Amino acid sequence: MMPDIKTVDVGFRFPDHGPIAVQLEDMVRWAAASGDYTAFHFDQDEAEARGFPAPVVHGPWKAAVLRSLVESWLGAVNIPEFSVRYLAPDFVGDAMVFGGEVAAIEASRHGRRIVRCDLWATRSDGVKTVTATCVATTDDGAEAATDLPLQRVMDSVRLGEPAGTFVYRIDGNDVDRFVDAIGGQRRTGPEADIAPATFYAALDPVERRDLDLDGFVQNLPFPKIGGGNAFNEVEYQRPLRKGDVITVTTRYTEVYEKEGSTGTLLFRVRENELRDADGELVATTRCGHVLAFDMAIARGVTS
């Protein structure tokens, strides 16, 4: 019988998932679900034009497969942390194998069992193309706590450390689409390739869900009564332009709480550094996100 999150031991190797041949349909469905319509993920010609033998499997699709496997291996769990590294491309039609094992087990001070897992995917020649780590916890409902666990929020976003690096190519059509969406006027003449000042929004790994460190705060056992972006700032060295290949590194720089009129406000501030293909700094951005919790309700329930 498969152990679950309450019985599994350190070193337990989960049964492999696969080999499965990734289908083109998987990629098209993922594109539709994610909104990432980058053509080399489903267009053979586009893939070959970039030197790939076949369409490239979406990285976040591979991460999503691994994440869902953890849930099926361990039963009903929370996954407050999940981080993934893409080591090499995978191609549609190749047979992939997804696997994982239990790396460590800890107990939270509230008695939850915390299971740390190492995960991976290999391609048909046995090379690892993805590695990931995740933290799964027993889903025992509300913890007996009445304050926001700020330190654990800080840990969950890897405060101060690079949380993720992503490369985005600024396609001319994407810029035009953005200009149209904001009701702006497309630039013409020598400045036709300049993107709008707010286009950096489209290059934010968190808004794009390429970087998701939200699990921990989303699963906090306090009633959420609101949230959203509190502020955005950008400082450009030069405008973003069509054709730029931009490497974005995200770092959370501040986690703090404030008492607001509607409840306890949890702020998380992240910074993105945008560099071009030559490694030159193009822009730095800051985004402050706020979540409002009704701690009075939480205290009433738990005390």
Q: Does 187 bind another protein (CB under 8 A)?
A: yes
Tokens of 164: 């993720």
Q: Is 297 within 8 Å of 223 (Cβ atoms)?
A: yes
Query: CB of residue 79 vs another protein: minimum separation in angstroms?
Result: 20
**Residues in 235-254 at the binding interface with another protein, rule: CB under 8 A:** 235-236, 239
Q: What angle do CA 16, 213, 239 make, to 5 degrees?
A: 120
Q: Does 194 bind another protein (CB under 8 A)?
A: yes
Considering only 45, 48, 147, 207, the residue that binds another protein (CB under 8 A) is 207
Picking from 81, 64, 83, 66, the residue whose alpha carbon sits closest to that of residue 16 is 66
Indicate the residue among 8 and 220 with the shorter CB distance to another protein.
220
Tokens of 12: 């337990």
Q: Does 32 bind another protein (CB under 8 A)?
A: no
Q: Does 94 bind another protein (CB under 8 A)?
A: no
Alpha-carbon distance of 111 to 103, in angstroms, equals 19
3-state SS class at 48: helix
Q: Does 289 bind another protein (CB under 8 A)?
A: no
Indicate the residue among 79 and 202 with the shorter CB distance to another protein.
202
Query: CB of residue 60 vs another protein: minimum separation in angstroms?
Result: 12
The window from 16-24, 77-85, 123-131, 224-232 that contacts another protein (CB under 8 A) reads 224-232
Q: Does 296 bind another protein (CB under 8 A)?
A: no
Query: CB of residue 34 vs another protein: minimum separation in angstroms?
Result: 8
Q: Is 135 within 8 Å of 219 (Cβ atoms)?
A: no
The window from 24-32, 58-66, 99-107, 227-235 that contacts another protein (CB under 8 A) reads 227-235
Q: Does 141 bind another protein (CB under 8 A)?
A: no
Q: Is 140 within 8 Å of 77 (Cβ atoms)?
A: no
Q: Does 261 bind another protein (CB under 8 A)?
A: no
Q: What is the DSSP letter of 91?
A: B
The window from 106-114, 131-139, 195-203, 244-252 that contacts another protein (CB under 8 A) reads 195-203
Alpha-carbon distance of 62 to 103, in angstroms, equals 20
Q: Does 39 bind another protein (CB under 8 A)?
A: no
How many residues appear in the chain?
303
Query: CB of residue 234 vs another protein: minimum separation in angstroms?
Result: 5
Considering only 169, 177, 186, 299, the residue that binds another protein (CB under 8 A) is 177
Query: CB of residue 229 vs another protein: minimum separation in angstroms?
Result: 5
Instruction: Determine how β-strand 113-122 pairs with β-strand 128-138.
Output: antiparallel
174 sits in which H/E element = helix 172-181
Q: How far is CA 187 from CA 134, 181, 203, in A?
A: 45, 14, 20
Alpha-carbon distance of 66 to 74, in angstroms, equals 12
Q: Does 48 bind another protein (CB under 8 A)?
A: no
Alpha-carbon distance of 233 to 265, in angstroms, equals 20
Q: Is 57 within 8 Å of 122 (Cβ atoms)?
A: no
Indicate the residue among 74 and 202 with the shorter CB distance to another protein.
202
Chain residues in the site for another protein (CB under 8 A)? 35-36, 174, 177-178, 180-185, 187, 189-191, 194, 196-198, 201-202, 207-209, 225-226, 228-236, 239
